[in-house]
């Protein structure tokens, strides 16, 4: 009888150890997957602003969503005539940035009754044209190297 109990005890210990090792293997794999998240680079955008009213709204776009919903949207406070934001973990690729000086803090660009913007705006590459910005004018390449852009309003 004593040997049977010992055999059962050995089987239980082996089973418990197997379960613990399996779970710890799963947890180690989960940690490895979390660590394997590919981090991108940073894009720092500096905007000189004449007025200290409001904030500056920034949108980072890819071609498919250009001038629609930004891939990443940020808001920059104006400090001593400059608004600065940093987009983080940006994967290499082609992007464009638009921004608007949101003087009245309503989180959108305002237009007059004729459809003309009444708040200052800017676009990457500092291309200003009559009408909405074009992807071909605003796009720029991002690699694994941090990037710093100055965009004028």
* Local confidence band at 53 (pLDDT 50, 70, 90 cut-offs): very high
Domain that holds residue 84: 41-150
Same domain assignment for residues 33 and 103: no
The pLDDT tens digits for 82-135 are 999 999 999 999 999 999 999 999 999 999 999 999 999 999 999 988 888 999
Q: What are the tens digits of pLDDT across the range 24-38?
A: 333 333 444 444 455
Compute the average pLDDT of residues 62-81: 97
* CATH code of residue 137: 2.60.40
Beta strands 82-90 and 72-79, pairing class: antiparallel
Q: Both 122 and 136 in a single domain?
A: yes
Q: How far is CA 58 from CA 44, 62, 72, in A?
A: 11, 14, 8
Q: Is 84 found in the same domain as 20?
A: no
Beta bridge partners of 93: 142
For residue 125, CA distances in Å to 3, 5, 28, 30, 79 come to: 82, 79, 45, 42, 23
In this prediction the pTM is 0.74
Same domain, 80 and 124: yes
């Amino acid at each position: 009888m004593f040997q049977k109990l010992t055999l059962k005890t050995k089987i239980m210990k082996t089973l418990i150890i197997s379960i613990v090792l399996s779970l710890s293997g799963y947890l180690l794999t989960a940690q490895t997957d979390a660590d394997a998240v590919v981090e991108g680079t940073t894009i720092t955008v500096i905007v000189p602003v004449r007025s200290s009213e409001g904030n500056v709204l920034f949108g980072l776009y890819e071609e498919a969503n250009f001038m629609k919903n930004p891939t990443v949207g940020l808001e920059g406070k104006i400090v001593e005539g400059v608004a600065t934001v940093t987009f983080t973990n940006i994967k290499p690729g082609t992007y464009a940035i638009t921004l608007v000086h949101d003087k009245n803090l309503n989180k959108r660009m305002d237009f007059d009754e004729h459809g003309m913007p009444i708040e200052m705006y800017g676009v990457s590459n500092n291309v200003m044209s009559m009408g909405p910005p074009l992807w071909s004018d605003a796009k720029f390449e991002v690699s694994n190297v941090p990037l710093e852009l100055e965009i004028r309003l």
